[in-house]
Every structure is written in C-alpha cells, then in structure tokens.
C-alpha cells in the first residue's frame, strides 16, 4: 500500500508542477468485488482529459 500512496503523491506533485491550483483525489472501494478505484482530477493545462476503465 505504501507504493500505491507514493504513486498518488507523484501524480499530485506532477499536477502542481503543471500549474494546478485544485487537485481532487477520490478513492472508491468495493470489498465484495475486491475492487479499488481511484480518480484524480486537477485543473492544470498539461494534457487533455482521458477516461479509462
């Protein structure tokens, strides 16, 4: 889990470096399905938004 948190921190730091003034991190857990989903949104202008599932 520590590696996971470091990746999330890296994404947030990259967003700040790209000029973001707002970063939203949402974590969803579905234990019955053994699924964890993370969404990271920011308002930087570095790349176009994409969606993967």
pLDDT in tens, 27-49: 999 999 999 999 999 998 866 66
Q: What is the pLDDT of residue 45?
A: 82
Q: Which pair of structure tokens corresponds to residue 50?
A: 């994409």
**pLDDT > 90 fraction of the chain, expressed in percent and rounded:** 72
Answer whether residue 7 is part of any domain.
yes
pTM of model > 0.85: no
Range of the domain at 37: 2-42
Distance, CA of 24 to CA of 44 (rounded, Å):
12
Answer whether residue 48 is part of any domain.
no
Distance, CA of 9 to CA of 4 (rounded, Å):
9
Q: Specify the 3-state DSSP secondary structure of 37.
A: strand
Number of domains in the chain: 1
Answer whether residue 50 is part of any domain.
no
């Amino acid at each position: 889990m520590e590696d996971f948190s470091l990746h999330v921190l890296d994404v947030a730091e990259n967003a700040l470096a790209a000029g973001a003034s707002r970063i939203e991190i949402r974590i969803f857990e579905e234990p019955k399905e053994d699924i964890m989903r993370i969404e990271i949104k920011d308002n930087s202008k570095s790349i176009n938004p994409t969606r993967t599932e």
